[in-house]
Structure 1
Amino acid sequence: MTWAQVRAEIATQLQELVDDQAKVERLMPEGRFELQDLRFVADYNRDNAEEIFTHLHYLRSARPGAINYALVDPLYGRPVSLCSVSPLEWRRVGRHIASRFEIAMDTVWDISRVYSFDVAPANAISYLLARVRSDIRRRRPDLQLLTTAVDPNLGFTGASYLAANWNRWMTIRPRPYLYYRGRYVSPRQLRTEFATTNVAELRSMHGGDFGLSRTQLLDSMIFCCRLKGETEVVPAGLQHRLHR
């Protein structure tokens, strides 16, 4: 790729970002608020949450059928920080939790999406996670555990989860990122749209619009939080490294 092509691609991506923000402008909070002034909303509007996750979250998609939570501003009810929760679908993670921690997979739910706007106050996500835990524990006493995946390759550290008393229980070997026409796509999105995640197969059927990252990646981290009682610490040396 020439420098001219690189510049053109960057310009295209910047314009797409501007366009995406414009599509959810009516939902974007204005001004800054103190954490104690934000209002916690359970069952936050699904359509609004899906718009935000689809246009602003790095995965560019919402998890179908998820329950959405938000901290909203006190003036207009616009979300400042929000997340979605849904049953755990990652079977490899679920099997490991069941075998090592004796927690059945059907009692585990996943924080599948998290997004905070730039105006969010410090500790907004950890506060939101604590409120989510309390609400799920109340409405679903049969559930035992919450999980989430944190990707350090995107700059995420899991600090908000640690601040909300979650702990890292395992890591997952990385696999190359998948790209379609220069934009990241998740395996779920590829399966939904093209019925496969095999890049060679996709290229043979649809041309050269598909690519893989080539840089060496770090493991994803799986953080967990028990819904009842304290979440035990698993020392780094005892954490299993799972294959994809």
Structure 2
Amino acid sequence: MSVPATGAAVSARPNSTRTTFTLEGCRTGDEAFATLVAASARRHGVEPRALAVRTLLQLPRVAAHSGRVRRRDLDAELRNSAVLLRADQAKVIDLVPIDAYPLSALQFVECETDDADAIFGNLHYLRSARPGSRNFALVDPIHRRPVTLCSVSPMDWALVGKQLSRQFGVPVERMWDVSRVYSFDVAPANAISSLLKGVRNELRRSEPTAELLTTVVDQNLGFTGSSYRAANWQYWMSVRPRPYLYVDGMAISPRQMKLRYGTQSLAEVRLRYGVLAEQSRATLADSMIYCCRVRGVTEAVEPGERRRVRRRS
């Protein structure tokens, strides 16, 4: 996923005194929200972009049906997210890049699985790596630490795969999904788009049956798809949102819930495990599906031709 708009630029002005915010405003670059993120990141010694994403993931849990978020709830989620992020960063401190390098100095590599799993499992907002993935990174030339990395795996989301196959004629077994992306704050401009171009070239070379790369861009977390557009990917379809899920106040994906509890039913999880299982109430934005043909030009899809499908799994 591309870098969230809320982390792209932060203000040095004093914190806002506003008492309410909105989910839409926070995810689309509200200056007051960005200022609060920057201040909390400095206070706790964490990266602002990662903190913004983690906070945006938590806000739907405390937002009203209207999408409004009280300032005190926002402050609490910023604080809690920053404390957890600082602890997670400490777990992988030996992998965190320190020095900034120009894009031309970074090297494209297939990343060690253990390193990728550690970074995604601790720093990615989903806090997990996709099993069986191939992992790629741009690493610094001195310490060989990943500056920007992603994981790619065969498409396994049936809903999206079937719709893309029907509409664009690509067999599902020839699709690969960019399921995780993480970029440290020292990454130079265009690092993610450069990484994506390297992945496309590598799959063209080493996966002769691969025809299409796909990814999900979640607008609710401040992601806009800009890095994918810069790498010549195209916005092909959208997926209707479903509520975010939370267990004991922490966000959890349906896939993770199924793996951990054997079910995606909140009621069943509450009953069987005695945990606080809840879902967001406010309306969320659609997920955008970006695609790139592994060979040849990726055609644009006009807004009126983009399908909007219902998310079931």
Structures share fold, TM-score greater than 0.5: yes
Q: CA RMSD in A?
A: 1.9
Match of 2:301 in 1: 234
Aligned equivalent of 1:179, options 229, 246, 269:
246
Distance (whole Å) between structure 2 residues aligned to residue 34 and residue 9 of structure 1: 34
How many residues align? The count is: 243
Q: Which moved more, 1:206-215 or 1:194-203?
A: 206-215
**What are the ranges of 5 or more consecutive residues in structure 1 without an aligned counterpart?**
none
Q: What one-letter code is carried by the residue in structure 2 that aligns with 1:235?
A: E
Alpha-carbon spacing, 1:236–1:81, altered in 2? closer, same or farther (3 Å):
same
Match of 2:82 in 1: 14
Q: What one-letter code is carried by the residue in structure 2 that aligns with 1:47?
A: D
Distance (whole Å) between structure 1 residues aligned to residue 127 and residue 226 of structure 2: 23
- Are 1:38 and 2:115 matched, yes or no? no
Identity %: 52
- Partner of 2:283: helix, strand, or coil? coil
Distance (whole Å) between structure 2 residues aligned to residue 68 and residue 166 of structure 1: 19
Q: What one-letter code is carried by the residue in structure 2 that aligns with 1:119?
A: V
**What are the ranges of 5 or more consecutive residues in structure 2 without an aligned counterpart?**
1-61, 63-70
Displacement of 1:15: 2.2
Displacement of 1:8: 6.7
Q: What one-letter code is carried by the residue in structure 2 that aligns with 1:98?
A: S
- Partner of 2:135: helix, strand, or coil? strand
- Partner of 2:138: helix, strand, or coil? strand
TM-score (norm 1): 0.95
Match of 2:96 in 1: 28
Distance (whole Å) between structure 2 residues aligned to residue 34 and residue 7 of structure 1: 35
Q: What one-letter code is carried by the residue in structure 1 that aligns with 2:155?
A: L
The runs of at least 4 consecutive aligned structure 1 residues that moved more than 2 Å come to: 3-15
- Are 1:61 and 2:128 matched, yes or no? yes
Q: What one-letter code is carried by the residue in structure 1 that aligns with 2:304?
A: G
TM-score (norm 2): 0.74
Residues 59-80 of structure 1: CA deviation (Å, up to 9, x unaligned): 1100001000000001100000
- Are 1:212 and 2:313 matched, yes or no? no
Aligned equivalent of 2:208, options 136, 141, 144:
141
- Partner of 1:113: helix, strand, or coil? strand
Residues 192-240 of structure 1: CA deviation (Å, up to 9, x unaligned): 0101111122122223511101111000000000011000101011100
Distance (whole Å) between structure 2 residues aligned to residue 185 and residue 101 of structure 1: 32
Structure scoring higher RCO (CA < 8 A, sep ≥ 6) equals 2
Q: What one-letter code is carried by the residue in structure 2 that aligns with 1:133?
A: R
Alpha-carbon spacing, 1:149–1:8, altered in 2? closer, same or farther (3 Å):
closer
Distance (whole Å) between structure 2 residues aligned to residue 131 and residue 6 of structure 1: 38
- Partner of 1:64: helix, strand, or coil? coil
